[in-house]
Chain A
Amino acid sequence: MHAAKISKLTLSVFVLPCLILYVVLVFVPISVAAYYSLFQWNGIGEKLFVGLSNYSTMLAHDPVFWPSVWRTIMFAFFSMAEIPIALLIAVLLTRYVRKPNFLVSSYFLPVILSVVVIGQLWKSIYNPASLGGLLNNALDFVGLESWTRTWLADPEVSIFALFFVSLWQYLGYHILIQFTGIQNISQEVYEAAKIDGADGWKADRYITFPLVVPVFKISMVLAVIGSLKVFDMVMVMTAGGPAHATEVISTHMYNKTFAALEYGYGSAISIFLVIECLLATVLLNKLFKSSEDSMQ
């Protein structure tokens, strides 16, 4: 803290550009949306002030809203569950693969592909067998005809089919983060532990896992926020259908705002989304804080 004597004035001047950007790009749009959410407005004509009635409709009378929220939360849980798997793979890579960089990059590949490309790719994988769907044909081939279905058109499974694609795409991303986290742990710690008789899984249990927690936390936050905001994948593959079965908060907001021309109502949903994301971040931070404290 005492290393450099910098006046608060200088500090604020240097922080200013970022602050301005933040205010303009984040704070202003959110405030504008909050303002619009108080109106009944089709986005083009006259606005009609309706107070909080958009919010009460959203919370109490919209049959699509809560299922969408529930699906979004479920997706966040799936994404969180993916991260321990990513950590496990990262540990295995560090331990057993001599030149792991190639593998890590390959796992990372889906992340840099456009969601539209991935969506189209998986759409054709999920196609019915009669139309050359890879998955259904594979199931047929191994004698599991009874398992085949129209993955994206069956309301019972379509949302999971979507989740799977997203999880598949981002697995490599989290592996990369965990892998880098493990690489950053000093080798000396492991050597010292080895002398004390902690090797293999034992070393992981007492050294790798505790030391990788900060990185693990970043992954968790990214996964949760990413899944709360999920939009493009759903839009490309099903557009929320069939009959709202794959609707998540963001697609519901989009459809309400732009397809049904209920701009005010859409804004109310987007404010809900902002609050939900903030809540999730705070919650996760609290959770990790307590677990970090207990480890020290």
Chain B
Amino acid sequence: MKHAKRKSALLLMCSLLFVLTACSGNNGNAEQPTTAVKEGGDSKKQITLTFQNHYPDATDVQHKVMRQITDDYMAANPNIKIEVDSLNIDQQKIKLKTQAASNDMPDITVVNAAAQMAPFVEGGKLAPLNDILDRDGLGASFHSGILDYYTFDDKVYALPDGNNIAVIYYNKELFEQAGVAIPTTFDDLIKAAETFNGKQIIPMVVGEKETWTGSYFFMNILLRLAGPGYLSDVQAKTKDFMDPAFVQSVVKFREFIEAKGFQEGATSYDYDSAESLFTSGKAAMYFMGTWATGAMDDAEIKGKVGVFPFPTVDGKGDLDEYMLGPGTGFALSANSEHLEEAKDFLHYFMTNYPKVSFEFKNAVGVAQVVQGDFAQAGYSQLAIDVLDIFKKVKGGDIAFDNTMDPSTTQTHLNSIQNLFVSSIPPEDTAREHQNAFAANNQ
């Protein structure tokens, strides 16, 4: 009996050992799927590249552009197969972080600019792309300054697809119906909200379940009151969040919420459902990055939409300064087994991106110089208006999550969401920011 017990214990140990070795063995082969096809080729070996992006909606024009270029590339390079992994933005962010933690990143992926991609760069997960920028003048095709947001220590780690600014889209019909003029000051904006509410029209929509949307609006108030570069000053510790301009921004933001400027129950709306409130003509205004222009031209509201810049606040700020959206850039995994092929593909992709986008009428807010006459190509009046605004841009600032560390950013986002549902002293909101910043930047 005793003997049997010992035997079974031994067996158990063996099995445990087996499990452990099996586990560790697995880790090494994590990138197997991409190499599996390798042996098949005769003259040129078959290679599969995974291309992760955030254009999941197949009816969306951005997805179509991506598909077109990818298919063209595969047609020209039959030995390369590109597997597209399209997810929506939040899912893609999480997936990439998980993949990075387990060293299993896709060959080509998408990262957000500046502070958001810093952990990936510092962790050595991304490959520098300077060599492909030098090839065939690809680097020169980008708007000046845009690559700075993707540069660390003089090395560029991602190539952006968009270069956007935040504007207020408005429904011309509803403005006329309510007799509201385009607001140029924040007080006008609040008055406009009151007028619209009086006529049972939603003044402005925001998808505050995705907390960055409200933050983007808030940051524009802050840009007017504190001027560009405020957050960088906070990071350099020459300013802090208790700054009167920051506190006053909170006050102004609350004023707009208390005037019921945003739709009822805003915190339960995600990006798409908020946007569709505007594109279905139920709301008068929509504050968003210019990337949304394509969606306006695709919807029933087409032809009725205009744009105007964010108004001045308390008489401060320059209308030609905008919240800039250096957006997202395509990056390559430093550990990719087919880094050279991936570089080739990315070079092809970015070289053709402006041209194909233009053909698909999606070239508003592209990060590269676009050749062609927009009006002649049949772009909408809205698109032309947005392009005109682009010409006036005199700088501005980038979003909170592009400047600050992820942990302080989360505190900020939740703190802004809190302003939608409760009235707390604005100094408390500022202090919450300052405490989080201090805790994460010792």
Q: Which residues of A pack against B, CB within 8 Å? A: 7-9, 11-13, 16, 19-20, 23-24, 28, 42-46, 123, 126-128, 130-131, 150-155, 237-239, 241-245, 255-256, 258-263
Contact = CB atoms under 8 A, between A and B. Distances in A.
Nearest to B11: A12
B122 A259 contact: no
12 contacts: A16-B12, A43-B100, A44-B100, A45-B122, A128-B264, A131-B282, A152-B267, A241-B267, A241-B414, A242-B208, A242-B268, A243-B417
Contact of A239 (B8, B94, B209): B209
B16 interface: yes
A148 B277 CA distance: 21
B415 interface: yes
Interface in B83-131: 93-94, 97-98, 100-101, 119-120, 122-123, 125
B264 A153 contact: yes
Contacts of A127: 265
A20 B17 CA distance: 10
Contact of B19 (A20, A151, A243): A20
Contacts of A262: 407
Given A150-B265, A238-B209, A243-B418, A19 B119 contact: no
Contacts of B210: 239
B391 interface: no
Contacts of B11: 9, 12-13, 16
Nearest to B270: A239
B420 interface: yes
A49 to B, nearest CB: 17
Interface in B395-442: 406-407, 409-410, 414-415, 417-418, 420-422
Contacts of B208: 241-242
B416 to A, nearest CB: 9
A193 B117 CA distance: 73
A126 B277 CA distance: 16
A240 to B, nearest CB: 8
B259 interface: no
Contact of B23 (A24, A43, A152): A24
Contact residues on B (Cβ < 8 Å of other chain), bracket: 35 or more
A103 B97 CA distance: 46
Contacts of A243: 267, 414-415, 417-418, 420-422
B266 interface: yes
Contact of A154 (B1, B277, B415, B421): B421
A72 to B, nearest CB: 19
A255 B407 CA distance: 10
A12 to B, nearest CB: 4
A233 to B, nearest CB: 13
Nearest to B415: A243
B52 interface: no
B200 interface: yes
B44 interface: no
Contacts of B407: 260-262
B5 A8 contact: yes
A241 B211 contact: yes
Nearest to B122: A45
Contacts of B415: 243
Contacts of A255: 410
A19 B422 contact: no
Contacts of B32: none
Contacts of B1: 8
Contacts of A239: 209-210
A126 to B, nearest CB: 7
| Residue of A126, A150, A151, A260 with most partner-chain B CB within 10 A | A260
Interface in B259-304: 263-268, 277, 282
Nearest to A256: B410
B7 interface: yes
B236 interface: no
| Residue of B15, B200, B420 with most partner-chain A CB within 10 A | B15
| Residue of B264, B406, B410 with most partner-chain A CB within 10 A | B264
* CB-CB nearest 6 A-B residue pairs: A243-B418, A150-B265, A152-B268, A242-B267, A153-B265, A44-B123
Nearest to B124: A45
B406 A19 contact: no
B4 interface: yes
Contact of B410 (A44, A130, A237, A259): A259
A123 B15 CA distance: 49
Contacts of B267: 152-153, 238, 241-243
A79 to B, nearest CB: 23
Interface string B30-65: 000000000000000000000000000000000000
